[in-house]
Amino acid sequence: MWESWSSLGWDVHLDWHPDTGRPGLADALRRAIRERRLGPGTALPSTRALAKDLGIARGTVTRVYADLAAEGYLLTSQGAPTRVAAGGTAPAVPAREHPRTTTRSRDARWNLSPGRPDLSSFPRAAWLSAARRVLLEAPPGVFDYGDPRGPAVLREALARYLARSRGVVTDPERVVVCGGFNHAMAVLAQVLREDGELAFEDPSLPEFRATATGNGLSVTGVRVDEHGLVVSELDSPAVVVTPAHQFPLGYTLAPARRTALTRWAGRNGGLVIEDDYDGEFRFDRRPVGAVQALAPERTIYVGSVSKTLAPSLRIGWIVPPRSLVEPVRAALAATGWRAPSMDHLILAEMLTSGSYDRHVRQRRLAYRKRRDRLLAALPESVTPLGISAGLHVVLLLPSGVPEEDAFAAVARESIALEQLGRFWIRAGGRPQGIVVGYATPPEHAFTPAIEALTRSLRAITR
């Protein structure tokens, strides 16, 4: 994390030449802030220290700081260091001639990109105390190369957690720890290579489809309706599904479709890859358990901590049918993967101490409130899809309003989110919508982000 650069002696590259004087220095600072070389909250050197460093008059630095504070880049306050402002790093994004389907979250003032938890809610204290316990108690062997399936204590803790919270049928020998869903996809593509083809829900996340094709599989799309995957249209040896909360449309796989899916797998020797990416976050009732429990020998269950803790941890798990445990382990080892045991042991400690469950419960409550507040604030002209669950919601636009118009309007308010169009496999005749990640902004930015969103939606749907 950035801290005071003068007191800690950290070096910051300022692209500045003395001949460019005050305007040049202001530009160099703006650039450093926009490019996040000076992140939000960073304390700048005192005017005296910077003037001395750069060999210029102190008054020049004072005026540059004042200009940048007026522009919203810096926060000044009497008796405290001048700091980089949180929102000042992102001046409003102008509408583009050729709009993209995504505003890059780092360019935007309000980050409503789907797929992220609120990163500021990471349970630092719980992680730290679990890390302390692990480091105090672990034998030297934990610093060696470990089992490619992950340390036994994590596999044991996960087996208990998945059975308890998601109804997964498993035991520690069946759990393979990996680096998240996308990594699992790359590994499973090696295992499924002989089949050659993998079906995905249409719509679904294009990055995972790209991982499958990049690893030698061909990809087909299967339609989704308000009951989830249309199982009767399946015509591939294996399929990736999001039964708890279809991504991105937000439906749950209906009981009859769950039965149909497991029957399809049994009848055709088919394989179901269950992406249980946000199964912990059901708000209106207890979550429906994993499909895996209905057909454990025909389902490869996959989950990760990307929504519950943080995507940067890169920790996920695969629970394959018994017959595929060894092929999955071998495919994982063949990629050169060695489990980062230290983080795995910390997660195991959090799972056994109950601090993981406590964090998930607290986040569930927080995201439920956010979802309620978002839906209450929306103009009636947009239609939210799906069940009360998860970290994102699809908003259908009124007929006649194209996604590009909504995207340009939210970009004018400097909001990052995604167009629904990005997720379809087959083009044409699709409903127009946007995908809003209400879990993403930190707590203090949630209300203004929602206000900006509703303003932009009112502007286009009036």
Ligand X SMILES: Cc1ncc(COP(=O)(O)O)c(C=O)c1O
19: left (phi over 0), alpha (psi -120 to 50) or beta: alpha
Least separation, in Å, of the C-beta of 377 and ligand X?
A: 24
Least separation, in Å, of the C-beta of 315 and ligand X?
A: 8
Quote the CA–CA distance of 321 and 173 in Å, as a whole number: 11
Cβ proximity to ligand X, 115 vs 433, nearer residue: 115
Quote the CA–CA distance of 340 and 291 in Å, as a whole number: 29
Residue 251 is a binding residue for ligand X (CB under 6 A): no
CB burial string 343-364: b at 16+ within 10 A, e below: bbbbbbbbbbeebbbebbeebb
Look up residue 91 and give its amino acid: P
Residue 181 is a binding residue for ligand X (CB under 6 A): yes
Q: For ligand X, which stretch binds (CB under 6 A), given 12-20, 132-140, 175-183, 340-348?
A: 175-183
Least separation, in Å, of the C-beta of 214 and ligand X?
A: 14
Residue 105 is a binding residue for ligand X (CB under 6 A): no
Quote the CA–CA distance of 288 and 279 in Å, as a whole number: 8
**DSSP secondary structure string, 357-406?**
HHHHHHHHHHHHHHHHHHHHHS-TTSEE-S-SBSS-EEEEPPTT--HHHH
Question: Phi then psi for 372, rounded to 5 degrees?
Answer: -60, -45
Residue 150 is a binding residue for ligand X (CB under 6 A): no
Least separation, in Å, of the C-beta of 172 and ligand X?
A: 21
Q: Which residue is nearest to ligand X (CB)?
A: 180
Residues 257-316 that bind ligand X (CB under 6 A): 275, 277, 304, 306, 311, 316
Cβ proximity to ligand X, 5 vs 200, nearer residue: 200
Q: For ligand X, which stretch binds (CB under 6 A), given 160-168, 178-186, 398-406, 430-438?
A: 178-186
Least separation, in Å, of the C-beta of 291 and ligand X?
A: 15
**DSSP secondary structure string, 313-324?**
G--EEEE--GGG
Helix, coil or strand: residue 303: strand
Residues 230-249 that bind ligand X (CB under 6 A): 242, 247
Contact partners, residue 423, CB within 8 Å, separation at least 6: 203, 204, 205, 206, 248, 435
Total residues binding ligand X (CB under 6 A) = 13
Q: For ligand X, which stretch binds (CB under 6 A), given 64-72, 168-176, 180-188, 415-423?
A: 180-188
Look up residue 192 and give its amino acid: L
Residue 103 is a binding residue for ligand X (CB under 6 A): no
Cβ proximity to ligand X, 304 vs 432, nearer residue: 304
Binding residues (CB under 6 A) for ligand X: these are: 115, 180-182, 205, 242, 247, 275, 277, 304, 306, 311, 316
